[in-house]
């Protein structure tokens, strides 16, 4: 996803009308933003539409991009706003399919061997994450997978920094105890 400076330079180049930079930015940020949008819309289809609209806005307003203070947060804030709009639209539209199996943690989709852990532990881990309350999952995901700071997540989700800190602590504690439980069980065997 690149460093903050890289993103800054992408924004400046797009502001100058660089179509190549626009494409690169799209390819780099498509997946993380779709996954974030899906955590709000619960539908992959509408999450992809949201992200397409995010990039549409980016292009339409490209002249203003040089003035954006925090490019990364800017991407996430637009994505959040459009996702919330999409949810409102979904509610008005009957018969939408809610996809609860949406993958949020792209980094954990590897084979357990590649993660240097046993299959059992991998299962326990995914289950532990899955059982976290939805808000806790999203906060954890934004910090771990998307590399946002506590302060950025707080701003994005209208929470206090303290709450973000607590949510991450809860997530790690739950995951930690799942791992310890598995190892203890194996020791007894």
Partner 1 sequence: MPHNRFWNLLAKKLSGEANTIEMAELEQLLRQNPDWGYAASQIENIWKQRPQTELLNAELAYELHLEMMQQKGISFSENTTQSSPKIKSRRVWLIAGCAAVTLTAVAALFFLKPSGATPQQQRWHEVAVQAGTRTRMLLPDSSVVYLNAGSTLKYAPHFGITNRNVQLDGEGFFEVRKMKIPLVLRAGNVRIKVLGTAFNVRAYAGDDQTETSLIRGKVEVEVDNRPGERFLLLPSEKIIVKQTPKNNTGKAAMQPRAVILTAITPTKDSLVAEETAWVQNRLVFQNETFASLVPRLERWYNVRIVLDSRLRNERLSGTLEIESVQKALEALQLTTSFRFRIQQDSITITQ
For the bound state, the minimum distance from the C-beta of residue 171 to partner 1, rounded and expressed in Å, comes to 8
Q: Which residues contact 151 (CB under 8 A, 6 or more apart)?
A: 161
Q: Is 93 in the site for partner 1 (CB under 8 A)?
A: yes
For the bound state, the minimum distance from the C-beta of residue 19 to partner 1, rounded and expressed in Å, comes to 5
**Contact region for partner 1 (CB under 8 A) — 51-59, 65-73, 76-84, 130-138?**
51-59
Q: By CB under 8 A, name the one of 4, 17, 133, 134 that touches partner 1.
A: 17
Name residues contacting partner 1, limited to 100-159 (CB under 8 A): 101, 103, 106-110, 115-117, 121, 125, 143-145, 149-150
The Cα–Cα gap between 189 and 186 comes to 5
The tokens for 69 are 């203070």
Closest by Cα among 42, 43, 5, 48 to 26: 48
The Cα–Cα gap between 42 and 125 comes to 22
Name residues contacting partner 1, limited to 61-90 (CB under 8 A): none
5-13: long-range contacts, CB 8 A cutoff, minimum separation 24: 7/71, 7/72, 8/71, 10/71, 11/65, 11/66, 11/68, 11/71, 12/65, 12/66
Binding site for partner 1 (CB under 8 A): 16-20, 23, 26-27, 30-32, 34, 44-45, 48, 51-52, 55-56, 59-60, 93-97, 99, 101, 103, 106-110, 115-117, 121, 125, 143-145, 149-150, 165, 168-169, 171-173, 175-177, 179-180, 183
């Amino acid at each position: 996803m690149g460093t903050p400076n890289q993103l800054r330079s992408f924004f400046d180049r797009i502001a100058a009308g660089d179509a190549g930079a626009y494409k690169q930015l799209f390819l780099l940020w498509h997946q993380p933003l779709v996954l974030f949008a899906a955590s709000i819309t619960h539908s992959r289809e509408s999450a992809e539409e949201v992200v397409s609209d995010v990039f549409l806005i980016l292009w339409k307003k490209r002249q203003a991009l040089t003035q954006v203070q925090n490019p990364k947060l800017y991407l996430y804030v637009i994505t959040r706003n459009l996702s919330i709009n999409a949810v409102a639209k979904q509610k008005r539209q009957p018969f939408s399919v809610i996809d609860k199996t949406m993958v949020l943690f792209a980094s954990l989709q590897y084979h357990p061997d590649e993660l240097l852990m046993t299959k059992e532990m991998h299962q326990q881990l995914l289950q532990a994450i899955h059982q976290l309350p939805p808000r806790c999952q999203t906060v954890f995901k934004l910090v771990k997978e998307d590399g946002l700071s506590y302060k950025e997540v707080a701003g994005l989700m209208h929470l206090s920094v303290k709450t973000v800190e607590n949510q991450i602590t809860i997530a790690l504690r739950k995951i930690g105890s799942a791992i310890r439980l598995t190892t203890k069980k194996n020791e007894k065997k």
